[in-house]
């Protein structure tokens, strides 16, 4: 399937499997690991080191894989910004960086409590993050911090993180936060304030294990459950304005 091709459930579009591409951000790491492994295998003939390093090279390339995604084309849907597992759904105040005036005279998210969905990404997940809605990027705020386990709730306030606010043409805004984890040491943005983006568009990545928190608009309940597997740009997190909590059974 070509990028940007229209697909639907009425027979349009072709389905085929293909190897996912490697994002340019990760190619240099993979090539460095490959070069080091070749030195040990070909020059020193230290198989006990060279072969594990070669396996590690494959893992590095796999970590930075960047598969195509089929994004639902309907403004009422909020899609997952990350691959991974829903680790927490709670109601709390959004970060101060996403609320109030940012100095430009433009308000951010309401300061009232909002439902937050936390998505934990292991080192085995795709780490390219995508926009949950289409609109204009209003804020990209990076905050240095610690590198504790991203699965902990306090990581939202203490870890290295980056807040992003996207506003639609109708004024509805979604805020979400990329949070670095134990191994992660760099959050890489692909967008900046003022950029116009589409739902499901690539907006950044977090290297080597992390988490993303999404703050839903008022009057919107999640359509996902704790423990559910997310696919960035495809899984529908919520439907704007719909309040109907769901329950599930793990089996």
* pLDDT tens string 47-61: 787 787 778 777 777
Reported pTM: 0.81
pLDDT in tens, 164-209: 999 999 989 999 999 886 655 578 889 999 999 999 999 998 876 6
DSSP state of 171: S
Domain shared by 98 and 149, yes or no:
yes
pLDDT-above-90 percentage for the chain = 40
CATH code where residue 205 lies? 2.70.70
The answer to whether the beta carbons of residues 199 and 134 sit under 8 Å apart is yes
- pLDDT score, position 37: 82
Instruction: Give 136 or 151, the one with higher predicted confidence.
Output: 136
Helices 24-38 and 47-63 pack at an angle, to 10 degrees, of: 170
- pLDDT score, position 90: 93
In the listed set 10, 43, 66, which residue is the last one of a domain according to the structure?
66
Residue 228 has pLDDT above 70, yes or no: yes
In the listed set 13, 40, 66, which residue is the last one of a domain according to the structure?
66
Let me know if residue 3 belongs to a domain: no
d(CA 152, CA 227) in angstroms, rounded, equals 15
Least confident window among 72-81, 153-162, 190-199? 153-162
d(CA 41, CA 228) in angstroms, rounded, equals 42
Report how far apart, in Å, the C-alpha atoms of 159 and of each of 120, 184, 195 are. 14, 10, 26
d(CA 200, CA 71) in angstroms, rounded, equals 6
Let me know if residue 1 belongs to a domain: no
List the catalytic residues. 210
Let me know if residue 250 belongs to a domain: no
Domain shared by 89 and 202, yes or no:
yes
- Distance from the first to the final alpha carbon of the chain: 33
Number of domains in the chain: 2
- pLDDT score, position 151: 53
Give the closest residue to 224 by CA, choosing from 91, 150, 119, 106: 119
d(CA 108, CA 85) in angstroms, rounded, equals 27
Give the closest residue to 203 by CA, choosing from 104, 82, 54, 70: 82
Let me know if residue 104 belongs to a domain: yes
- pLDDT score, position 143: 87
* Res. 22 pLDDT band, cuts 50 70 90: confident
Residue 229 has pLDDT above 80, yes or no: yes
- pLDDT score, position 157: 61
* Res. 2 pLDDT band, cuts 50 70 90: very low
Residue 3 has pLDDT above 60, yes or no: no
Paired strand residues for 189: 204
d(CA 148, CA 119) in angstroms, rounded, equals 16
- pLDDT score, position 1: 43
Give the closest residue to 81 by CA, choosing from 198, 214, 190, 191: 214
Which pair of tokens denotes residue 11? 């027979």
Give the closest residue to 163 by CA, choosing from 109, 85, 95: 95
- pLDDT score, position 88: 93
Give the closest residue to 63 by CA, choosing from 208, 184, 188, 205: 208
d(CA 118, CA 84) in angstroms, rounded, equals 10
Instruction: Give 55 or 104, the one with higher predicted confidence.
Output: 55
- pLDDT score, position 65: 83
Domain shared by 81 and 59, yes or no:
no
- pLDDT score, position 27: 72
140 lies in which domain range? 77-239
Domain shared by 48 and 85, yes or no:
no
d(CA 199, CA 136) in angstroms, rounded, equals 11
**Per-chain mean pLDDT for the chain:** 83
Which pair of tokens denotes residue 109? 């998210």
């Amino acid at each position: 399937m070509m990028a940007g091709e229209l697909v639907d459930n009425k027979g349009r579009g072709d389905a085929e499997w293909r190897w996912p591409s490697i994002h340019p951000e990760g190619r240099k790491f993979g090539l460095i690991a490959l070069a080091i492994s070749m030195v040990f295998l070909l020059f020193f003939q230290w198989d006990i080191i060279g072969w594990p390093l070669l396996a590690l090279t494959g893992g590095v390339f796999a970590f930075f894989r960047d598969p195509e995604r089929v994004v639902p084309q309907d403004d009422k849907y909020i899609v997952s910004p990350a691959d991974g597992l829903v680790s927490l759904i709670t109601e709390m105040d959004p970060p101060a960086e996403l609320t109030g005036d940012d100095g430009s005279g433009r308000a951010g998210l309401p300061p009232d409590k909002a439902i937050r969905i936390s998505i934990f990404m292991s080192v085995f997940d795709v780490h390219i993050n995508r926009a949950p809605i289409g609109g204009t990027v209003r804020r990209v705020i990076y905050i240095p911090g610690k590198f504790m386990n991203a699965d902990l709730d306090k990581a939202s306030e203490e870890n290295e993180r980056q807040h992003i606010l996207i506003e639609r043409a109708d004024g509805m805004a979604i805020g979400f936060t990329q949070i670095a984890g134990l191994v992660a040491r760099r959050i890489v943005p692909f967008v900046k304030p003022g950029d116009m983006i589409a739902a499901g568009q690539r907006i950044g990545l977090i290297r080597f294990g992390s988490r993303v928190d999404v703050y839903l608009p008022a009057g919107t309940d999640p359509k996902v459950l704790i423990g559910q597997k997310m696919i960035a740009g495809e899984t529908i997190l919520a439907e704007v304005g719909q309040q109907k909590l769901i329950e599930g059974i793990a089996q």
